[in-house]
Amino acid sequence: MHEENAYLDRVTSHTDGIGVEHGIAYGHGQALDVCTPLDTDGEPVVLLWHGVGGNERDVLASLACTTAALGVTVFVPDWQSGRADGGRAQLLASLSFTRRRIAESGGDDGAIVLAGWSRGGKAAAGLAINPAAVNGWQPSAVACLGSGFKNPAPTTGNSVLTDLTSTAAAPVPFWLVHGTKDSVVDISQSREFAALLAQHGWPVHLDEVPTDHAGVVMARYDPQIRRCRPATDRGAIEAGRLSARVMHAAASGTSTNF
């Protein structure tokens, strides 16, 4: 049995109308979780990538479940940005797995929103703007949460900003969420990227929320363990709920103002 099709370590749990499949092997020694609303046929779909920390899909668990409760199936893979290729092979393998899983269930593998937190958002943006990196495939929309765009995207190896000025790709909607108190990635990066997207004819929606870098994904950074935990602060919880609504809107093809 191929590793990417192995479900031997899968554990399924159900809570609050959501089914969660834990630890599905997708390839490259990595696993993902899938949060699915129980009262839908599995669509629409969001593929949600965490940030620079290695194998942090657990950090996004609360956000993924909150999004699934709105009626969206969310795939959340582990990946490692510290690899020689910056995590590119793992990111693309998780996308291939998600597309294959959707196709096998009779769905449309083009109806996927690529979403990501921090570096994961830049990875998502890179593929939408430079689809040649995945043989011309594009997501239906992109959601970037607390992301920066100045350095090359791990999925393409190219600058998102440079690619945007020269791409021939068809514009897809971008949804950006950024904390005004973010001291890791300054909010100016999302503001400048939104302006550049609009200048080049790409639909874009930017939400600014009064929280920090982790707050946009309903998390808080714990310096003792150097890792994020679930948020307890009301502001971060509300910011995470907004991010969930944004991903739902992106997946549903709506243009709701929040």
- For the segment 79-107, what is each residue's pLDDT rounded down to a tens digit? 999 999 999 999 999 999 999 999 998 88
Q: Is residue 112 in some structural domain?
A: yes
Which tops the pLDDT comparison, 109 or 180?
180
Tokens for 33, please give them: 């979780």
Q: Is residue 137 in some structural domain?
A: yes
% the chain with pLDDT above 70: 91
Q: Is residue 52 in some structural domain?
A: yes
Strands (E) across the chain are located at 11-15, 18-27, 30-37, 45-49, 73-77, 112-117, 141-145, 174-179, 204-209, 219-222, 227-230
> How many domains, the chain?
1
Stretch among 64-73, 165-174, 247-256 having the lowest mean pLDDT: 247-256
Q: Is residue 203 in some structural domain?
A: yes
Containing structural domain, residue 195: 3-252
Q: Is residue 258 in some structural domain?
A: no
Residue 41's pLDDT is 66
pTM of the model: 0.92
Residue 196 belongs to a domain with what CATH number? 3.40.50.1820
Q: Is residue 257 in some structural domain?
A: no
List pLDDT tens digits, range 119-161.
Answer: 999 999 999 999 999 999 999 999 999 999 999 999 999 999 9
- Angle at the Cα of 159 from the Cα atoms of 154 and 164, rounded to 5 degrees: 120
Q: Is residue 14 in some structural domain?
A: yes
Residue 100's pLDDT is 96
Q: Is the pLDDT of residue 5 over 50?
A: no
Q: Is residue 176 in some structural domain?
A: yes
